[in-house]
Amino acid sequence: MAGSKTHLVLENYIGGQFIPCSSYLDSYDPSTGEVYCKVPDSGREEVEAAVNAAQNAFPGWSAKSPQERSKILSKLADLIEEDLESFAQAESKDQGKTITFARTVDIPRSVYNFRFFSSSILHQTAECTQMDHVGCMHYTERTPVGIAGLISPWNLPLYLLTWKIAPAIACGNTVIAKPSEMTSATAWMMCKLLNKAGIPPGVVNIIFGSGPKAGDALVSHPQVSLISFTGSTLTGQRIIERSAPYCKKLSLELGGKNPAIIFEDANLDECVPTTVRSSFANQGEICLCTSRIFVQRNICNEFLRRFVEAVKKWKVGNPSDPTIDQGALISKEHLAKVKNHIKKAESEGGKILCGEGIDTLTLPTRNWDGYFMLPTVITEIADDSSCMQDEIFGPVTCVTVFDTEEEVIRRANGVKYGLAATVWSRDVGRVHRVAKKLQCGLVWTNCWLIRDLNLPFGGMKASGVGREGARDSYEFFTEVKTITIKHTEMH
């Protein structure tokens, strides 16, 4: 580990080696507002070195059997799990999320991502058809694509990075990954375990740096055949443009403006606490968070009373305190952006029921300069207002009233995004009807964020392109080839 007296200094991981960089970016501890870490400011040169390492490693890695690769992925999962507490502490400090969330969600899921794909790679089968009338048999074969470029965001740093690395290398690709420059610590910690797990040099390369510099060099490199990206819709559009000249395979998981639809027969005892969580978990910095809540008129007053009461009990404070519900937002700039959305909502006639500008936030002295805000609930806001249309990606949710099923489906679909939705009702027929008509990739009924990694994950419209999951990731990270054999007579 390279270091200085005060700051942790990260290095790129290329070809199985830690390589210092000529220039560095500051990374802040969101809970104090202080610089605590220096992150490489990589660009074309570093990406070029990583491409060479990945190309050299590809023949050997892709030639390994799925069983051999599976064993290595399992070993890496074990190594991360053995060090779970250190990873959780680092993730909480780096991202601002609560230590509880990092311990129970981020790091266990990172471990599970490697375990899951180490197993699923062993259970893929190929198709085969017969054409007896022309004496032919056809079968398919799947081969690794080559070098995969993987770009992950700052909200769930190791969780989403491993969700990409695991299937990519399980399928026999080599990878160049770029975590967010704001949350690079756990990716760097994982690099220290790769060699120990048996991953050959050059199979996994991690380049740290900004999107416009390191990210751009990665997506526009002719030898990088595939890009998997999670992040904003705007950056996704830029990736499509930059990678278009090379016809790369793309999987883009972009923004969301997810509705929660609460019908009059909803079980509020379950609905209220789950909707607080689905609105404000991880500071509202999850692409699947519900930021538009539609409540049927008959129960709207009752829901609001109980919801606001529950939100006011949500504790905001030092992320390392295990009793805290919500930590710090990722950056000073992001905090200002979220607060501006709330000011705009007020100017558009919105009424703030609790949170920002209404309630007092008390913090420990050492956190006074951190990027904290209270969970905020806005009501009486029009569907076309920016707070109901734009992804805020913070602890802000809007509550609005509806009357009929047809109306709420139309309004829920009335945004450019289509990632996820939650529906609360005890009427099974209604749940199926509504789920079918919602324009989104995931619908949760009477629950939120319960995932089965076997099933497809991804969105519609401006929420992205492609799906990932057991079969979907396998298809994305491989190329399919159809082989036809004609039976010939022996003479």
C-beta of residue 287 within 8 angstroms of C-beta of residue 256: yes
Tokens of 323: 């009793």
Tokens of 162: 């491993």
Tokens of 365: 């002295």
Instruction: Tell me, yes or no, if 136 is annotated catalytic.
Output: no
> Which entry of 287, 387, 398, 440 is annotated as an active-site residue?
287
Beta-carbon contacts of 292 under 8 Å, excluding residues fewer than 6 positions away, are 257, 258, 259, 260, 388, 397, 398, 400, 412, 415
C-beta of residue 105 within 8 angstroms of C-beta of residue 114: no
- Apex CA 116: angle with CA 112 and CA 118, to 5°? 115
Radius of gyration over every alpha carbon of the chain, rounded to an integer in angstroms = 24
* CA nearest to 157, candidates 128, 129, 137, 177: 177
Q: How far is CA 66 from CA 95, 203, 441, in A?
A: 34, 15, 30
Beta-carbon contacts of 228 under 8 Å, excluding residues fewer than 6 positions away, are 148, 149, 150, 151, 164, 168, 250, 251, 468, 476
Burial of 286 (0-12, 13-18, 19+ CB in 10 A): buried
Biggest CA–CA distance in the chain, Å, is 91
Reduce the DSSP state of residue 94 to 3 states and report it.
helix
* E strands present in 46-117: none
CA-to-CA distance for 342 and 394, rounded, in angstroms? 11
Instruction: Tell me, yes or no, if 253 is annotated catalytic.
Output: yes
* CA nearest to 159, candidates 181, 180, 176: 180
Tokens of 369: 């300069």
C-beta of residue 257 within 8 angstroms of C-beta of residue 291: yes
> Which entry of 11, 91, 181, 253 is annotated as an active-site residue?
253
Reduce the DSSP state of residue 336 to 3 states and report it.
helix
Q: Which residues are catalytic?
A: 253, 287
